[in-house]
């Protein structure tokens, strides 16, 4: 099925109603990234892109601007336009031009969601400088834990990531920086990052970075590895309390599962494509798809059935919900 680089909107636990932009469209792989995180909702991939020069199917700034110019006008209640999707957006060297172009044609704030892998590079920091917000991932202050959870491409080191995040905060013109702390637990002997030792080291590193905002969350969709499980809500609240004591409650956001929002007010062009484009980038429950795209359940059910019959999507279950994801 044909996919578009603009997708959603997605009901984000962090950003509200967010319209997504995917800046790499390589059909040979389901995600285009230099990490292979154990918790990734898009699953495991063998090939990790080591360098922006190795990217296949890089989207142009012109494609993004033209897509946003027409698509975002169909949505009445948008909160953010977000660079994310099936790829690490900073791997596209035209990201800075894209951000500027989007802001030229839309009044909505722009966010870049990044795994932080390339923020030590000056050209990458220059590219993201025009965004309103950057949400950057940091899972540990220890190299061993970082590599176990994020499984980065060769040459990516935690020390460089930390230095790069500090450099963002020191830029003369910079976006608001939020650090996403994705916490995981495990059913096997695995270097999880929700222990007291790990949290203590994360706090030390975050004090060095001094971000505008810290987001604490855990796995909410079926992860790439079945031994990875979510951290309990009780433990998340204990960890958030420790962060509150150091950074203040106004800077710490505890992001819990179960966001409730009204259905989107959206004018549809091709409903089946819109449903598939959303599921391709983010596994969703039936109700999440309905609310995100503003499609009533009676209309949505035959679309889901058709996509399953065509083997474009599959069903996946965790302990609590049934999710649909791209096959």
- 167-190 pLDDT, tens digit per residue, is 999 999 999 999 999 999 999 999
Query: Which pLDDT does position 259 carry in this prediction?
Result: 47
Burial of 200 (0-12, 13-18, 19+ CB in 10 A): exposed
Q: Does the pLDDT of residue 24 top 70, yes or no?
A: yes
Give percent of the chain above pLDDT 90: 61
Domain assignment of residue 81, yes or no: yes
Residues in the chain, how many? 327
User: Comparing 59 with 276, which gets the higher pLDDT?
Assistant: 59
197 is a domain residue: yes
Instruction: Give the pLDDT band of residue 272 (cuts 50, 70, 90).
Output: confident
* Rounded Cα distance, 211 and 116, in Å: 13
pTM for the structure as a whole:
0.83
Domain membership of residue 297 (yes or no) is no
Q: Scan for tokens 């695995």, then name that residue.
A: 190
Query: Is the residue at 304 inside a domain?
Result: no
In a domain, residue 245? The reply is yes
Run of H or E including 214? strand 213-218
> 28: which 2 tokens?
């040979």
Q: Which domain holds residue 104?
A: 6-258
73 pLDDT above the threshold of 90: no
Q: What is the mean pLDDT of residues 99-124?
A: 96
Which is more confident, 216 or 13? 216
Residue 265 pLDDT level (bands cut at 50, 70, 90): low
Q: Find tokens 């004591």 and name the residue.
A: 245
End-to-end CA distance of the chain: 12
Residue 16 backbone dihedrals phi, psi, to 5 degrees: 80, -130
User: If pLDDT is split at 50, 70 and 90, which confidence band does 76 have?
Assistant: low
Burial pattern 290-319, b for ≥16 Cβ within 10 A else e, equals bbbbbbeeeebeebbeebeeeebbeeeebe
Phi, psi of 314 (to 5 degrees): -135, 165
β-strands 80-83, 16-21: how paired?
parallel
72 three-class SS:
helix
* pLDDT in the model for residue 266: 53
Question: In the predicted model, what is the mean pLDDT of residues 12-24?
Answer: 86
Split at pLDDT 50, 70, 90, the class of 110 is very high
310 belongs to a structural domain: no
pLDDT(214) > 60: yes
Degrees, nearest 5: CA angle 13-16-22: 90
- Which are the contacts of 242, defined by CB distance < 8 A and separation ≥ 6? 199, 203
Q: Is the residue at 277 inside a domain?
A: no
What is the model's pLDDT at position 263?
46
The pLDDT score that the predictor gives to residue 260 is 47
Q: In this structure, what CATH number is given to the domain that contains residue 82?
A: 3.20.20.70
Residue 268 is predicted with a pLDDT of: 61
Share of the chain above pLDDT 70, in %: 92
Domain total of the chain: 1
Q: What is the mean pLDDT of the chain?
A: 88
| Average pLDDT over every residue of 294-315 | 79
Residue 115, CA atoms < 13 Å, CB-side half-sphere: 25
Question: Would 264 be classed as within a structural domain?
Answer: no
- Overall average pLDDT of the 300-307 stretch: 80
How many Å separate Cα 175 from the centre of its chain? 17
Of 68, 76, 79, give the one whose Cα is nearest residue 11: 79
């Amino acid at each position: 099925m044909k996919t578009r680089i603009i997708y959603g909107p997605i009901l984000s636990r962090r950003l509200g109603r967010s319209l997504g932009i995917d800046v790499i469209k390589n059909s040979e792989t389901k995600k285009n990234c230099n990490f292979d995180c154990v918790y990734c909702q898009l699953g495991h991939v063998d090939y990790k892109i080591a360098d922006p020069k190795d990217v296949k199917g890089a989207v142009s700034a012109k494609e993004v601007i033209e897509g946003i110019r027409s698509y975002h006008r169909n949505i009445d209640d948008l909160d953010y336009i977000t660079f994310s999707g099936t790829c690490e957006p900073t791997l596209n060297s035209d990201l800075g031009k894209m951000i500027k172009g989007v802001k030229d044609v839309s009044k909505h704030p722009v966010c870049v969601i990044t795994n932080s892998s390339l923020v030590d590079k000056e050209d990458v920091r220059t590219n993201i400088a025009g965004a309103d917000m950057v949400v950057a991932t940091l899972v540990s202050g220890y190299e061993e834990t970082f590599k176990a959870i994020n499984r980065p491409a060769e040459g990516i080191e935690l020390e460089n990531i930390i230095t790069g995040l500090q450099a963002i905060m020191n830029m003369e013109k910079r976006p608001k920086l939020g650090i996403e702390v994705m916490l995981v637990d495990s059913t096997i002997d695995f270097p999880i990052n929700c222990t007291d030792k790990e949290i203590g080291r994360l706090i030390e590193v975050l004090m060095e970075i001094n971000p505008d905002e810290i987001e604490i969350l855990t796995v909410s969709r079926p992860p790439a590895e079945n031994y990875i499980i979510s951290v309990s809500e009780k433990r998340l609240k204990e960890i958030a309390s420790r962060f509150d004591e150091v950074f203040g409650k106004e800077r710490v956001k505890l992001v819990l599962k179960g966001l409730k929002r009204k259905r989107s007010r959206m004018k549809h062009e091709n409903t089946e494509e819109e449903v598939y484009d959303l599921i391709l980038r983010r596994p969703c429950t039936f109700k999440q798809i309905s609310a995100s795209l503003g499609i009533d359940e009676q209309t949505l059910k035959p679309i889901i059935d058709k996509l399953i019959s065509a083997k474009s999507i599959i069903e996946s279950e965790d302990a609590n919900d049934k999710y649909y994801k791209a096959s």
